[in-house]
Structure 1
Amino acid sequence: MDLTRSTSNPNDAPGFLYAGFNQEYGCFATGLNTGFRVYNCDPLIEQARSESSEGGIALVEMLYRTNYLAFVGGGRNPRFPPNKVIIHDSIKSKAVLELEYKSDVKNVKLRRDRQVFSKRLTVVLVNKVFIYEFGINPKLLYTFETCDNERGLAAVSASQDHAVLIIPGRQKGHLQIVDLDSLGYYWSAVPQRYSESSINSNLNTSTTTIEHDLSSPTTTSSSSTGRATPTANISIIAAHSGKLSCVALNHDGTKCATASDKGTLVRVFNTATGTLLNELRRGMDRAEIYSIAFNHDSTRLCVSSDKGTIHVFNLDPSVVTTTDQKPLPRGPTYGEVVVYPTVPSVKGTGLTQNGNRGSSFSFMKDLLPKYFSSEWSFAHAKIVTENRCIAAFGEEKNTIIAICADGSWYRFLFDPRKGGECTRDSFERFLKNE
C-alpha cells in the first residue's frame, strides 16, 4: 500500500508512507519518514525497527522471514535516492547490494527459488521490469517492457516450486504472465553491455552498484557465455478495458486476480490457460483497490479499497456446501441492493454456484444488464474510519488481518457457512496519530 500515490486522509498516521505483507502474509513491513518497522501479523508484535533522522523509506519488501529487506527511499527527505534499490541485511545492519536506474523505482519483489541459495529480484520501473538472480554480483536474467505502470504493479508466486510473475502488458488493461522457471540460471555474472567500471567486483565489499542504460537490449548477450539465449515463456491476457489498478497471484502461481482503475470488478484467471474463472463485483461506484489476496488453498479471495470495506468472495463451491451438496442459507446482505426471492427454490436461492451473493434474476442474465448476473461478496468487514487499508487471510482459520493507513491493525472473524458481516475480534494501533 503506497500511501504517497493518492490524497491523504486526515486520519492517516503522520509520516506513514508504505505498508506491505511478506510473501506468506505472516508479517508486514512499514515505510516511514524516519525509517522502517517490521511486525508479526497475528499476534501483532513488533519484530524490528530502524528509525533515525537519516530520512524516509517509501517501500519495504521482505523476503519471507529472512534477514533480507529491499528498500526504496521516499518521503519529504528520502534516505536513499528514489531511483535506487537497496538490499539490506538486518543481521549485518548494512546494505549488501545497490542497483541504480535512470528513473524512479516503482516496486520491488523478492522470492526464493527451489535451489537453496537461489533468490530472484524483480525491479519495476514505470515502463520496464528487470529480473535478476542476485548475490554479490547480480545476474540480469531478463528485461520486460510494459505500458505506463505508475503504480508499480507486479506480483510473484510465493511457492518455491513454481515461479510465476505477473506484470502489466504493453497495452492498457493487458496482463503479462511470465514463467520465471523458463529464464534459466546460467547467465554470466557481468552482462556484456555493462561497463566494467560500473560494477564493484571487490569481494571484500558487500555493495554492488549497477547503472542500467534503459536503451539497452532486453536480454543479456549470449556471446559472452557461449550459450543460447532462452526465450521467456510469456502469456498475455486482455483482463480489462481500462488500466489495471491491482494484481495478485495465489501461492503456487496457478491463479491470478486483477482489478481495473474503475474498481468495480475483480477477475480471476487460470495462469496456465488464460481462462476466466471468476468475475466478482466489489460494487457499482468507482473505488481504488489497494489489495487483493488469495487464501492459502485458493478457495477464497479478499479485496480492500479506499472505501474502508473489505470484501470476501468464495471461489470454490466446495467451501460452501454441506455433505449432501445442498446450498447453505446466507446471512444478511450488504451494500448495493440485491433482490432475493421470498420463498427459496432450487433455482432462486439468491446465491451463485460458488456461494457468493447474487440476484434472483440471474436466470435472465441474457436479457438484463450484466449487473444482475454479478457475483457479490460472500462476507464483508468495515473499517471504522473508512480509511485505506490492505488485507489478507490470517493464519487462524476464518480470520482476516487488515493494516490501515491510520496506523491501526484489525483482526476480523467471518462465518464460513453464513457469511454476512464479519465480527471485529481484535484491534490495536501500531502507529499512533500524535
Structure 2
Amino acid sequence: MNLGRHSISATTPVQIFDARFDPECNIFTTSTPAGFAVYRTHPLQLIRKRELTGGTLAAVVPLHATNILFLLGGGRSPLYPPNKVVLWNDALGKEVAELEFRERVRGIACRRGWLAVSLRRRVVVFQIGTSVTRYGEWDTGDNPRGEHRVAVSSFRGGLLAMATAPYSTLLAIAGRQVGHVQLVRLPPCPVPVSRNPPPSSPPRKPPPPPSKHPVSIIAAHTTALTTISIPMSGRLVATTSIQGTLVRVWDTITGKLVREFRRGTDKADIYGVAFRPDEQEVCVWSDKGTVHVFNLVVSGATNRHSTFSPLAPFLPLPKYFESEWSYAQYRIPVQSSHISLSSTSRSAKEKAAVDMPEEERCVVGWIEGTSDDPAAPPNTKEFQLIALTFTGGWYRLGLPKLAGRAPKRSSGSFKTSPLSPSGSPPPASHLSRAASVAGSSASRLDKGKEKERNKDPKKESRNCALLEYRRFGRWDGWG
C-alpha cells in the first residue's frame, strides 16, 4: 500500500466549500459547514467568523474590504435558495437585502457600488447604494459554469469579471457565441473614501478617454470558455477554454491578442487566472494542482520556449513550437487524502464525503510582501503569491531569481502560527511534505521540458520558493 502522498489523521479533514480574495487581496473569505469567516491575507489572521444555523453556504463574496458581503446558499442543505443573492452587513451581523431570480445564480462579481449576477443565459447588473436598483441586463451564450457541484458542494463562479480600480468601467462577460467575450462599459468606478487625513499630493485624475471607440466583442476561443479574468484597471482580459492548455491575454480597447501562454500539453480544468497588480505577470492554477507564472512584459524574456522556436521563421513548424511556457511553477501538495483512524460508521463516512473538497483545489492571489532575501535591504517589498487550498492550507510563495528579475528569495523556514493553539507549529507530516515539495520537485512540468531541465543541472531553478506555511480552519478554533 502506497502512502507516499497521503496524510494519516485521526481527525476529520477541514471542509471548506469556497475561498476567495477581495479585489486587492487584502482579505479573503471562506465558507464552511458551520458558517463563514473573514481573514486578513498577510500576515494571516482571523478577523471575524459567523456561525450560521439552518443550512450551508456555497460562496461568500466580499465587497472589497468593507462590511458588505454577498452570500449564496449551497451544499446538501442550502441556507438560502439557489436563486437568491443575499446582502449581508457584517457590522450589523444580519441580512440587509436580497435579490431573487427565476433561476439558479451561476456567479457574481462586484465593485464599489455595483453588483453583477450571472445566470444561465444572461447577466444582470445592479447599482448598490442606500437602495438596490436594477441597472441593466445583457444576454449571453449558455453558461453552464457556476453550477453547484453536489459532489463537493463547491461553487464554480460564472463567466464574468469587473474592473475595480478607480475610474475603471469594464465588465467582461461571456458572449452570445461559443468562445466569445462581451465587453460592457459601466459608469466609472468611484474613488474609495479614505478615513485618513487627505494626502498632500493632488488627487488622482481620471484617465483620458480612449482615442478610438473600444471593441465590444472578442472572439477569444473556438471552444467554450472556462474563465474570464481582468486586472483592476480593466485594460486587459485573460481567457481560457475547456481545452485547458492555452491562456490568452487581450487588449480590451483594440481587441487584439497581446500574449498567448501554454499551461501544458494535456487537457486540464483551469480554475482561475490572476494578474499581478502592476500587470507585469499573470498566474494560472488548475485541477492539476500546479500554479504557473508567466511574464507579460516582452522585454522580460523569462518565459520558457521550445528549443525549436528559433527555427519557426524558417520552417513550417506546428504552432506548438512557438508557444511560451511558464517561467515559474509551484506544486500544491495533496492534503485531502486522509485516512480516518476513528471508529466512524460507514454511512456517516459516506455522508461526510459528499461535502469533501476536491483534491488540490486552490485559489491564488498576489500580495506585496517583504523580501525574505537576507542580502536585500531591510523592508524591501516584492510581489509574492498566496495560495489557499480547500483543505485549509495557506502558502506564501516567492518567485525564483531569473534574468531580469529581483534577487532570489530564500526558501525561508517554517514559523509558528499565530492561529495555532499555544503557538504550536503545524503538524510534522505537513511540514515534511511541504518542505519536500518546495525542494527539487515543487512543480510538474510538461514531459519534454522536464527532460530538458534534468539534462542540465546547472540551469536556474524555476520553482517558486515556499516562504511560509500556515493552516486555517480548525487550527484557529473555526470549523
- Per the TM alignment, residue 234 of structure 1 is displaced from its structure 2 partner at its CA by 6.4
Structure 2 match to 1:206:
none
Secondary structure of the 2:255 match is coil
What is the rounded CA distance, in whole Å, between the counterparts of 1:276 and 1:387 in structure 2? 31
Greater shift, 11-20 or 60-69, is seen at 11-20
Query: What are structure 2's unaligned runs of at least 5 residues?
Result: 1-7, 146-157, 191-212, 335-358, 370-381, 404-460
RMSD over aligned Cα, in angstroms? Answer: 2.3
Counterparts in 2 of 1:125-274, with a 5 A limit? 125-151=119-145, 152-181=158-187, 235-274=216-255
Counterparts in 2 of 1:295-310, with a 5 A limit? 295-310=276-291
Larger helix fraction of residues: 2
Structure 2 match to 1:288:
269
Counterpart code for 2:247: V
Structure 1 match to 2:366:
393
Contact 1:42 1:395 in 2 (8 A): no
Counterpart code for 2:73: G
What is the rounded CA distance, in whole Å, between the counterparts of 2:29 and 2:82 in structure 1? 18
- Per the TM alignment, residue 135 of structure 1 is displaced from its structure 2 partner at its CA by 2.9
What is the rounded CA distance, in whole Å, between the counterparts of 2:321 and 2:308 in structure 1? 6
Counterpart code for 2:60: V
Cα 1:281–1:33 change in 2 (3 A) is: same
Counterparts in 2 of 1:69-108, with a 5 A limit? 69-108=69-108
Counterpart code for 1:307: K
Structure 2 match to 1:191:
none
- Per the TM alignment, residue 183 of structure 1 is displaced from its structure 2 partner at its CA by 12
Secondary structure of the 1:165 match is strand
Contact 2:167 2:188 in 1 (8 A): no
- Per the TM alignment, residue 417 of structure 1 is displaced from its structure 2 partner at its CA by 2.5
- Per the TM alignment, residue 136 of structure 1 is displaced from its structure 2 partner at its CA by 4.1
Structure 2 match to 1:348:
none
Structure 2 match to 1:50:
50
Query: 2:464 is matched with which residue: 402, 405, 422?
Result: 422
Cα 1:292–1:168 change in 2 (3 A) is: same
Identify which of structures 1 and 2 has the higher relative contact order when contacts are C-alpha pairs closer than 8 Å and 6+ apart: 2
Secondary structure of the 1:372 match is helix
Matched residues, percent identical? Answer: 39
Q: Is 1:364 aligned to residue 370 of structure 2?
A: no
| Displacement over 3 Å in runs of 4+ | 10-15
Counterparts in 2 of 1:14-29, with a 5 A limit? 14-29=14-29
CA distances 1:380-410 after superposition (whole Å, capped 9, x unpaired): 1111116011112222113111011222111
Counterpart code for 2:161: A
Structure 2 match to 1:312:
293
Contact 1:398 1:415 in 2 (8 A): no
Q: Is 1:411 aligned to residue 367 of structure 2?
A: no
Q: Is 1:378 aligned to residue 327 of structure 2?
A: yes
Contact 1:86 1:99 in 2 (8 A): yes
Cα 1:56–1:423 change in 2 (3 A) is: same
What is the rounded CA distance, in whole Å, between the counterparts of 1:298 and 1:261 in structure 2? 25
Contact 2:276 2:366 in 1 (8 A): yes
TM-score by length of 1: 0.74
Counterpart code for 2:237: C
Contact 2:304 2:326 in 1 (8 A): yes
Cα 1:52–1:174 change in 2 (3 A) is: same
Cα 1:169–1:281 change in 2 (3 A) is: same
Secondary structure of the 2:187 match is helix
Contact 1:178 1:234 in 2 (8 A): no
Counterpart code for 1:311: H
TM-score by length of 2: 0.67
Query: What are structure 1's unaligned runs of at least 5 residues?
Result: 1-9, 113-118, 185-231, 321-353
What is the rounded CA distance, in whole Å, between the counterparts of 2:223 and 2:65 in structure 1? 36
What is the rounded CA distance, in whole Å, between the counterparts of 1:73 and 1:241 in structure 2? 33
- Per the TM alignment, residue 307 of structure 1 is displaced from its structure 2 partner at its CA by 0.8
Cα 1:398–1:417 change in 2 (3 A) is: farther
- Per the TM alignment, residue 268 of structure 1 is displaced from its structure 2 partner at its CA by 0.2
Contact 1:26 1:395 in 2 (8 A): no
CA distances 1:150-208 after superposition (whole Å, capped 9, x unpaired): 22111111202112111110111110111112899xxxxxxxxxxxxxxxxxxxxxxxx
Cα 1:90–1:135 change in 2 (3 A) is: same
- Per the TM alignment, residue 429 of structure 1 is displaced from its structure 2 partner at its CA by 1.5
Secondary structure of the 1:395 match is strand
CA distances 1:270-297 after superposition (whole Å, capped 9, x unpaired): 0011010000000001111111000011
Cα 1:233–1:143 change in 2 (3 A) is: farther
- Per the TM alignment, residue 313 of structure 1 is displaced from its structure 2 partner at its CA by 0.2
Q: Is 1:277 aligned to residue 242 of structure 2?
A: no
Counterpart code for 2:166: Q
